Structure 1
Amino acid sequence: MKKQFTIYIDSWAHGTAIPAIFAFGRPGTDSPFAPSDNVSPAIRWSNAPAGTRSFAIICHDPDVPSSGEDVNQQGKVVPADLPRVNFFHWALVDIPVDVPGLDEGAASRGITPRGKAVGLTQHGVTGKNDYTGWFAGDPEMEGTYGGYDGPCPPWNDSIVHHYYFEVFALDIETLGLQDEFTGQDALEAMKGHILASASHMGTYSMNPDIDG
């Protein structure tokens, strides 16, 4: 029987809460928000299909509010029925075929104001994540955010957020993407080249009134 392409993240079981060490934000002691450790999780994969020539990692949250009007506002709640959009937390492509995974902290070890580098790394080519747009106009945090930056859902959101870490086995060595490509750019470039994919999901909330 042919073995299935599989992703492993041992730090939390599929579908359960992501530990705060892997998040960008956490509930504070005296305030709704405090910076967290923002460490990228260890991730590995196995049983890549024949013909695989590279791998890619995409992490996204599909539960981000489509409007920021009520986000993180005292006395308000982001309603559950508000339309939601994707927020990309990590886009890494052109991972060499002989790389079986990434160690904990390989793509982030803490919050880096004004962002982290994009482009070639020792384990692939990293694009920018969506904190780049989130912090646009913030004089202390504005910049291009490459690599991984973890969960930080609105602390007044009425729903739990879901984070999908997906690995793709591709039939091409490079997607030829420029340094500041986005997660959506990567997904578009992969079309027609995906031999297999596997995902591992975790949940996270900063709202003390709901289970995360």
Structure 2
Amino acid sequence: MSMAWTSRDRPHRPPTDLLPTTTPFEVTSESFTDGGALAHAQVFDDWGFTGGNLSPQLRWSGAPEGTKSYAISCFDPDAPTPAGFWHWTVVGLPADTTSLPEGAGVEGGAQLPEGAFMTATDYGTKAFGGAAPPQGDIAHRYVFAVHALDTDDLGIDDSVSCTVAAFNYLQHTIGRAVITGMYRS
């Protein structure tokens, strides 16, 4: 009996469909189009990959009234694990932030607004970790979500994981904008 994960074992619904409904708003990227392929710049730079490992440029608008801060996440629901794979989380983005440049997710967060910080990804780093699906696997979805929050203080710091950060920001999400990039190795 084979214990290998197959594409039929993995979630096919977007993971955001499983979350409570919130007010939608818009997010776009100059780095990729919604449903389109991620650029080489957004591919991991280790594990046999030679990408740029840069977070994509993101711009958002139309967040609901009452937004006090934002969190951004990148999640791969197609990773061959029981829990998907967290590639990036930024929290503490001020309410007047409407974009991040490509590469804002580099370690140290020098391009992030004051007060914003990244939490540990499933790569174990506090930085954006690019696409790195197993060779020959199905095309993976990289779901970038901008979460509009009703608080400017989640009571967490950069020592928490992306999962713990999500547990906290999802309780305060009043709006969400989603853009999905695809990648297959």
SS class of match (2:84)? strand
Whether 1:194 and 2:150 are equivalent positions in the alignment is no
Among all aligned residue pairs of Structure 1 and Structure 2, give the percentage whose two residues are the same amino acid.
34
Whether 1:13 and 2:28 are equivalent positions in the alignment is no
Which protein has the larger Cα radius of gyration, Structure 1 or Structure 2? 1
**Any conservation in 1 of the 2:24–2:177 contact (CA below 8 Å)?**
no
Q: State the AA in 1 paired with 2:118.
A: T
Cα distance in 2 for partners of 1:203, 1:10 equals 15
**Any conservation in 1 of the 2:57–2:101 contact (CA below 8 Å)?**
yes
Q: Residues 198 and 62 (structure 1 numbering): CA distance in 2 closer, same or farther, change over 3 Å?
A: same
Q: Residues 180 and 96 (structure 1 numbering): CA distance in 2 closer, same or farther, change over 3 Å?
A: same
Which residue matches 1:100?
Answer: 98
Please give the TM-score of this superposition, normalised by the length of structure 2.
0.79
Cα distance in 2 for partners of 1:146, 1:190 equals 17
Aligned residue among 115, 127, 131 for 1:151: 131
Q: State the AA in 2 paired with 1:60.
A: F
Structure 2: unaligned runs, 5 residues or longer: 1-22
After TM superposition, the runs of 4+ consecutive aligned structure 1 residues lying more than 6 A away are none
Cα distance in 1 for partners of 2:95, 2:79 equals 33
Deviations 1:66-98 (A, max 9, x none): 2xxxxxxxxxxxxxxxxx531000010110111
Structure 1: unaligned runs, 5 residues or longer: 27-31, 67-83, 109-115, 133-144, 207-212
SS class of match (1:90)? strand
Cα distance in 2 for partners of 1:34, 1:164 equals 20
Which residue matches 2:141?
Answer: 162
Please give the TM-score of this superposition, normalised by the length of structure 1.
0.69
